[in-house]
Amino acid sequence: MKKIGLLFLLISAFVFGQQSALEQKINSIIKDKNATVGISVLGFENGFKYNKNADKKLPMQSVFKFHIAAAVLDYVDKGKLSLDQKILLDKTNLHENTWSPLRDKYPQGNVKVPLSEILEYTVAKSDNNGCDILLTLIGGTQTVQKFMNSKGVKGFQIKFNEEEMHKDWNAQYENYSTAVSATDVLKKFYDGKLLSKKSTDYLMKVMLSTSTGKNKLIEQLPENTPAARKTGASGKNNAGLTGAENEIAIITLPNGKHYALAVFVSNSTETDVVNCKMISDISKSVWDYFNK
């Protein structure tokens, strides 16, 4: 029994030492930065947890498009919507002066496209018009909130769509998540506790094809590392403040295991380059920890 107890203590000390090293590395990345940085790491198979400022309610920006897509796919699972159904794009829903690759593809509108295309543009390309079209289809942000509440997702709130956030800088702070909520919902998603297997596999594939924010979580990871991710960014206001520079992801390791990572950089006066580099460096540190 004494040998078993000693072995346990040695293993515990080793694990604590590694976690302490990760803590030191992350502290060195964010020190002296004029920003609030919320971080959560969750190892899926080994249950590893690392959290820093992870209970702070920070603005999601476009990270919420993951939650919206999940709510839309819940409607698909229930037969209320179909990914094949056609949605009319026109001047009423293809707004100008907002990030919209969908509008760039169909600048004149007056075309019907499948719901799947709108969802894929919304998640993988972070399309703002697509986002609001999806919200209109399911009855608004309150439908997303009720769905997440029903799945036991805590520390999450959604009140405003993209158009409303564009009109009021402060609205983004009402669309918040904690970092630990983000990794928790990603684990629920991965475990099939949010959606059917078909919808889970579909959304995972879409997230793996995300093309935005390549200078953030995936920048320093080995090429072609599977990362099912969703980015978010507010840009800067006239006072030079960044409300949010974010990313959440499920990352697959070379050994086939997985972890979720959420990094939320909020209320930062640092440059966009510095904000994104923080996320990139934190991601690399976590990757190195899991690959020791």
> Using one digit for the tens of pLDDT, what is the confidence trace for 34-80?
999 999 999 999 999 999 999 999 999 999 999 999 999 999 999 99
Mean pLDDT, residues 176-203 taken together = 98
What pLDDT score was predicted for residue 19?
Answer: 66
Topology (CATH) of 34-291:
Beta-lactamase (3.40.710)
Give the pair of three-digit tokens for residue 282. 């934190």
Q: Tell me the CA end-to-end span of the chain in Å, nearest whole number.
A: 30
- Residue 163 a catalytic site member: no
Confidence of residue 3 (pLDDT cuts 50, 70, 90): low
Q: Is 168 exposed, middle or buried (0-12, 13-18, 19+ CB in 10 A)?
A: exposed
Catalytic residue among 62, 181, 199, 280: 62
Confidence of residue 20 (pLDDT cuts 50, 70, 90): confident
- Residue 164 a catalytic site member: no
Catalytic residue among 100, 120, 126, 162: 162
* Confidence check: pLDDT of 8 > 90: no
pTM for this one?
0.93
What pLDDT score was predicted for residue 261?
Answer: 98
Residue 147's contacts (CB-CB under 8 Å, 6 or more residues apart) are 70, 71, 74
Decide the pairing of beta strands 36-43 and 156-157.
Answer: unpaired
8 A C-beta contact, residue 53 and residue 30: no
Give the pair of three-digit tokens for residue 246. 């974010």
